[in-house]
Structure 1
Amino acid sequence: MKRDSNYADTEVDLTLLANFTHQIINPLNGVVGTLDNIIDGTIGPDRREQRTKAARGQLENCITLIRNLAYLASGENAFSDSVERKVVLPQVIIEAAMFYQEEGKRRRISIDLENRSDQNLITGHPETLKQVLMNIFDNGIKYSAFGSQILVKQWVQKNTNEAIITVRSVPEQRLTTLDLENIFLLGFRGDNAKQMIASGTGLGLHICKHLIEVKHTGSISVQQDGNGLQFMIKIPGAWSTS
């Protein structure tokens, strides 16, 4: 039988869709189970708030996944209504981190912004920058060592007027050179990610790169930093009011 020239692409798409479906269904089933247990009284008043917050965290994770898939499917149209405006960097970082506080508590991983009082700003797209940070924090919570810290710093490079955002985490398993070289490729998942979580979409970091480059004319890179992994985002045209 003649092999369809689009077969390989179709196979990749189906694999991605299967992984995406798996990652959506599991947390949604968890939320349904939590609600059922609250309704039938299995979860008592003393645990209700904790379990409700955990369910909210699961829904927020689903939102991130769906936004990533929507962006992949429609390209820039997914954020076509997003217009450039003033973006306060510590504010958007804190808002993105809030999505992962509950899951972070479960794994005793904190997301800490070192210099949150420094009011550094850019003119850009807050929704897309928030999505970038959410994707990075999502990976950090999933793959960082139990009890570790995700440390975020943001400042303005005076000689270039670039906003710099760094996100440093401590992976459970060290990334290989090949992982680092391919980490932003569509569908790529490193060996460390596969060993910790069997299924995944490989969308998040690819979308980060595209949003930073297209929506902010900036750059994003990653490198080993001792026992840690550090992402660095650079966005031009920044200023500080501090």
Structure 2
Amino acid sequence: MEGVLINEVEQEKNLDLTLLANFVHQVVNPLNGVAGTLDNLAEGTVEGEERRLQRLNAARAQLEQCITLIRNLAFLAQGRGGVADDDRRKIVLPQVIIESAMIFQEDGKTKKIEINLLDRSTQNTITGHPELIRQVLMNIFDNFIKYGKIGHPVEVDQRIQKSSGMALIEIKGISAHPIDQEDLGKIGTLGFRGKNAKKVVASGSGLGMYICKKIIEEQGGSLHMEVGVQGKVLFVIKLPLQS
């Protein structure tokens, strides 16, 4: 029995070290990119106002990715990433979706992957934690930009489901490498990365989807993922109108 407990402790320690190493790698890479962009701008090697603006927007997107990663780690360490239980406000779904998608606009352009909200006019609202909902959307959009098939858009739909009285956010796109059915049930497990993800990006934190699922479930909702033929991927987020 003692040997089993020691083995479990060692496994947890190894998982913690792997997560930390992957986390550091994911944060350092975009920060190096930002530093390189600032050097180029300071030295005047980027010519033309349009190109300078593109570089600045790309650097901002890289910083936002770092912020998301740090929030993921903070959420894991603190339970809610510093968001108070009673800090609930009205969330306008189209607004929070658009704000989250804009962060990946520049990265999306380079891969010809647009994030399109199908219904921008219907102002469906819920009550919850805007920062946490934004964090979930950013994690999912980040996955689509990283692992999505070049030239194929990501489509987002939002509505209130009459049968359940829940708010629905559906996000669908196409993965560059189809997700293995064996991996599907493990996605959302702490530290797990699917085979398709490893083909595109060798290392990752394995935190994103775990935290997405945890955030949504803690607000009384659900998150599940479906995969179809030719790399089709669908995320379905259900949230109560008041959490």
After TM superposition, the score normalised by the length of structure 2 is 0.93
Kindly report which structure 2 residues correspond to 1:100-111, keeping only aligned pairs within 5 A, or say none: 100-111=104-115
CA RMSD between the two structures: 1.6
2:187 pairs with 1:170:
no
Deviations 1:17-40 (A, max 9, x none): 111111111111111111111111
Q: Structure 2: where are the runs of 5+ without partners?
A: none
By how many angstroms is 1:81 displaced? 6.4
By how many angstroms is 1:77 displaced? 5.2
2:100 pairs with 1:96:
yes
Greater shift in the superposed pair: 79-88 or 97-106: 79-88
Which residue identity is paired with 1:64? T
Aligned residues: 236
Provide the identity percentage: 52
Task: Please give the alpha-carbon distance, in whole angstroms, between the structure 2 residues aligned to 1:77 and 1:226.
Answer: 36
Deviations 1:92-137 (A, max 9, x none): 1111111111110111100000011111111111111111111100
Task: Please give the alpha-carbon distance, in whole angstroms, between the structure 1 residues aligned to 2:221 and 2:151.
Answer: 32
**In the alignment, which of 69, 75, 81 is matched to residue 73 of structure 2?**
69
Residue 50 of structure 1: aligned partner: 54
Deviations 1:183-221 (A, max 9, x none): 11011100000011000001011001110010x200000
2:224 pairs with 1:221:
yes
Contact 2:222 2:237 in 1 (8 A): yes
Residue 184 of structure 1: aligned partner: 188
Q: Structure 1: where are the runs of 5+ without partners?
A: none
Residue 112 of structure 1: aligned partner: 116
After TM superposition, the score normalised by the length of structure 1 is 0.93
Would the alpha carbon gap of residues 135 and 66 (structure 1) be closer, same or farther in structure 2, given more than 3 Å must change?
A: same
Task: Please give the alpha-carbon distance, in whole angstroms, between the structure 1 residues aligned to 2:86 and 2:130.
Answer: 8
Contact 1:89 1:122 in 2 (8 A): yes
Kindly report which structure 2 residues correspond to 1:122-141, keeping only aligned pairs within 5 A, or say none: 122-141=126-145
Runs of 4+ in 1 over 3 A off after TM superposition: 2-5
2:24 pairs with 1:21:
yes
Task: Please give the alpha-carbon distance, in whole angstroms, between the structure 1 residues aligned to 2:237 and 2:29.
Answer: 32
Greater shift in the superposed pair: 77-86 or 123-132: 77-86
Deviations 1:117-172 (A, max 9, x none): 11111111111111111110010100000111110001111122111110001000
